[in-house]
Structure formats: structure tokens, C-alpha cells
């Protein structure tokens, strides 16, 4: 099967497995795992932050960040497709007692002006206190859309002038950076906290790192423990993450080129109504009214290609480390045969 459902499906390469098998480990709840420290320090340094904390998932790093920046009753400003709002089990309400103010964006992105009008007047005691603005780069529900750093800078400035924290869900930040050629620290410095997923475009099996100031990360460790995310000899997983950031970043572009090839074919198919622009490794397309997404997905599956229906007429494909040029050619062939 050619699995284009998500970039989370990658399996560790032989070299990554070797690094995992040879990792030096210790009890990380006691702060004694050197490989975990290595991963946390390397990512924090790369993003221009003081410290990092390794967590089991991107859901946990996002949820911890929201908890650090809010108090019960506060409001978080985010885009209406934000992962932490849509797909993290209502965690923002359950874990932090906070609510959200949703901005309708352009493929997941929004402007400083939109943020300005979403901030509640702090003098109005009947309104929820706005305490955090959260961005996602790339935007998953926006088809892997990439933000403009200048807009981020304007949002950051606005947040500072209103005393608001700013968090980045950077589950696929390295895909964004591969597309724009910007430096990780140029992005990292614009945020109080950044969540990086190792298990998506980077191709590690598990794990995310939250970076921030020493004080924020010390508090994040407490929240991680409370949520059950303290892990023991977890250097075997951190080693996979370190291998991914050292050896897989340079190849991310290949995934983007393959995604563009798929887009080109999809655009020429009669039963495809619209293909969202492709900036990185995510392709979202919409079928014509008389074509249901689940039927389309089942047809592709019968021909050896897995993809995902994300609404009644929308389908998502994601390229990643385990997808080769031959896989793309097979998928293009299946799509074209189906479309003729």
C-alpha cells in the first residue's frame, strides 16, 4: 500500500533504528537521560530559546503551552481550523478551563488587524480575558499553507503591546522553513513557546518538543508530569528525534516536489472541482458534487493507494519520508485511469 493519509505513518529507517538502539539512556523523570537533554538543548538552541521539554505528542506540547499562558476563564485567539481547537479532544477547555475566539483565516493564516479586533477590552469585566494568541505553521487544515514572517512579526508586536502571550504550533515548522529557506531562530524568536513535532515531516516515530524560556519550561515539566507525560529511559525515542533533525531536514524538499507533481495531475481530472494551492507536503482537493469523498478513497484503496476523506467532498494526501518517486508515479497513474 502507498500510504498518503498522513506524514505520521513513517517507519524509522535502519539508520534511525541504529541510533535508537545505541542511545545512552537514564531516568528522565530524575533528569538523568543524556539523549533527551541533547535533543531538548539542540532544538531549543536552533530556535533561539533557552530550554526545551520532550513530550510524547504534539497534542501534549500544545496543551501544556496553553496551560502555561492562560488561567481558567481566559480566551485564546486562534484560527477556526487550529489543530489544538479542532482535534485535541476539547483539551483547551478540559485542561485549562479556557475558551477560544476563532478567526476565519486564509487557509489557516490571519492578519494582525484580525487579531486586533478579536482582543477583548481588558477593562470590560464581563468579557473573558484574552491572554494568548496561537498560530500554526504550516497550517494542517489549510493544506500545508505557510505563513509570511512579516505578518507574524506584526502579530507579535501587537501581542506584546497588549500583554498577550504568543504560541506557535510548529508541528510542521521544518516543512515551512524548507519552503521559505528562513532560519529556525528567525521564527522561534517571535514566540514565547514553540511546539515542534518530530513524528510528522521529520519522520521520527514519536515525540514533540516544547521550547521557551527556562522559567516557562520548568513549569512545563510540572504540567507534563501532572498530565502523565513524564517518561523514564526515553532516550531511545529522543535518539530517533535527534537523528531526524540532523539527517531528515535536508530531504524535506523532496516531499514538496512530489506533492506538486500530484497537484498537477489532480488539477487535470474531470471529477476534481478544485485543488488547494500546494505550499509544502499536504494536498487537499475537492471533488465535484456527484463524487463522494469516501467512495473516491475506497476506489484508490482498491488500487493500492491510501488517502483520507476530510469532509463529504474533500480528500487529503500527504507526502513524506516513506513515499518514493515510484509511489507518486503509481498514484498518478491510478488517478488518471480513474479520471478518464
Contact positions toward ligand PLP, by CB under 6 A? 57-59, 62, 83, 136, 140, 169, 171, 197, 199, 208
CB of 136 to ligand PLP, least distance (A): 5
User: CA dist 239 to 15, 21, 244, Å?
Assistant: 11, 9, 8
| 8 A C-beta contact, residue 170 and residue 195 | yes
CB of 139 to ligand PLP, least distance (A): 7
Query: Which residue, 10 or 140, is less far from ligand PLP as judged by CB?
Result: 140
| 8 A C-beta contact, residue 208 and residue 220 | no
Query: Which residue, 52 or 58, is less far from ligand PLP as judged by CB?
Result: 58
CB of 173 to ligand PLP, least distance (A): 10
CB of 339 to ligand PLP, least distance (A): 29
Nearest to 204 by CA among 231, 167, 168, 171: 171
CB of 198 to ligand PLP, least distance (A): 9
DSSP string, 166-220: EEEEETTHHHHHHHH---HHHHHTT-SEEEEESSSTT--SS-EEEEE-HHHHHHH
Query: Which residue, 55 or 269, is less far from ligand PLP as judged by CB?
Result: 55
CB of 66 to ligand PLP, least distance (A): 12
| 8 A C-beta contact, residue 272 and residue 285 | yes
Which one-letter DSSP state was computed for residue 8?
A: G
Query: Which residue, 231 or 265, is less far from ligand PLP as judged by CB?
Result: 231
Query: Which residue, 58 or 105, is less far from ligand PLP as judged by CB?
Result: 58
Cα 280–Cα 263–Cα 296 angle in degrees, nearest 5: 115
DSSP string, 122-151: TT-TTSPPEEEEEEESSBTTTTSB---HHH
Query: Which residue, 44 or 197, is less far from ligand PLP as judged by CB?
Result: 197
Amino acid at each position: 500500500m502507498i500510504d498518503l493519509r498522513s506524514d505520521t505513518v513513517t517507519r524509522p529507517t535502519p539508520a534511525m533504528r541504529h541510533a535508537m538502539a545505541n542511545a545512552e539512556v537514564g531516568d528522565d523523570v530524575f533528569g538523568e537521560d543524556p539523549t533527551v537533554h541533547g535533543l531538548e538543548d539542540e532544538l531549543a538552541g536552533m530556535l533561539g530559546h533557552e530550554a526545551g521539554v520532550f513530550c510524547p505528542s504534539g497534542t501534549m506540547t500544545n496543551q501544556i503551552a496553553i496551560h502555561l499562558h492562560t488561567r481558567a476563564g481566559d480566551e485564546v485567539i486562534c484560527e477556526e481550523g487550529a489543530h489544538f481547537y479542532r482535534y485535541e479532544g476539547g483539551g483547551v477547555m478540559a485542561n485549562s478551563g479556557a475558551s477560544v475566539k476563532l478567526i476565519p483565516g486564509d487557509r489557516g493564516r490571519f492578519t494582525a488587524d484580525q487579531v486586533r479586533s478579536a482582543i477583548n477590552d481588558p477593562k470590560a469585566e464581563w468579557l473573558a480575558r484574552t491572554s494568548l494568541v496561537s498560530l500554526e505553521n504550516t497550517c494542517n487544515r489549510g493544506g500545508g499553507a505557510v505563513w509570511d514572517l512579516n505578518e507574524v512579526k506584526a502579530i507579535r508586536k501587537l501581542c506584546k503591546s497588549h500583554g498577550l502571550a504568543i504560541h506557535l504550533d510548529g508541528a510542521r515548522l521544518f516543512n515551512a522553513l524548507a519552503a521559505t529557506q528562513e532560519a529556525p531562530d528567525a521564527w522561534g524568536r517571535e514566540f514565547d513557546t514553540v511546539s515542534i513535532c518530530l513524528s510528522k515531516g521529520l519522520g521520527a516515530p514519536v515525540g514533540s518538543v516544547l521550547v521557551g524560556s527556562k522559567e516557562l519550561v520548568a513549569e512545563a515539566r510540572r504540567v507534563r508530569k501532572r498530565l502523565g507525560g513524564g517518561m523514564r529511559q526515553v532516550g531511545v525515542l529522543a535518539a530517533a528525534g535527534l537523528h531526524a533533525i540532523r539527517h531528515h531536514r535536508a530531504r524535506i524538499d523532496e516531499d514538496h516536489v512530489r506533492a506538486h507533481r500530484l497537484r498537477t495531475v489532480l488539477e487535470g481530472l474531470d471529477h476534481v472541482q478544485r485543488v488547494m494551492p500546494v505550499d509544502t507536503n499536504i494536498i487537499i482537493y475537492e471533488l465535484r458534487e456527484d463524487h463522494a469523498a469516501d467512495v473516491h478513497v475506497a476506489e484508490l484503496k482498491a488500487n493500492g493507494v491510501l488517502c483520507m476523506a476530510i469532509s463529504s467532498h474533500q480528500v487529503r494526501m500527504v507526502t513524506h519520508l516513506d513515499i518514493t518517486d515510484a509511489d507518486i508515479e503509481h498514484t498518478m497513474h491510478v488517478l488518471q485511469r480513474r479520471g478518464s
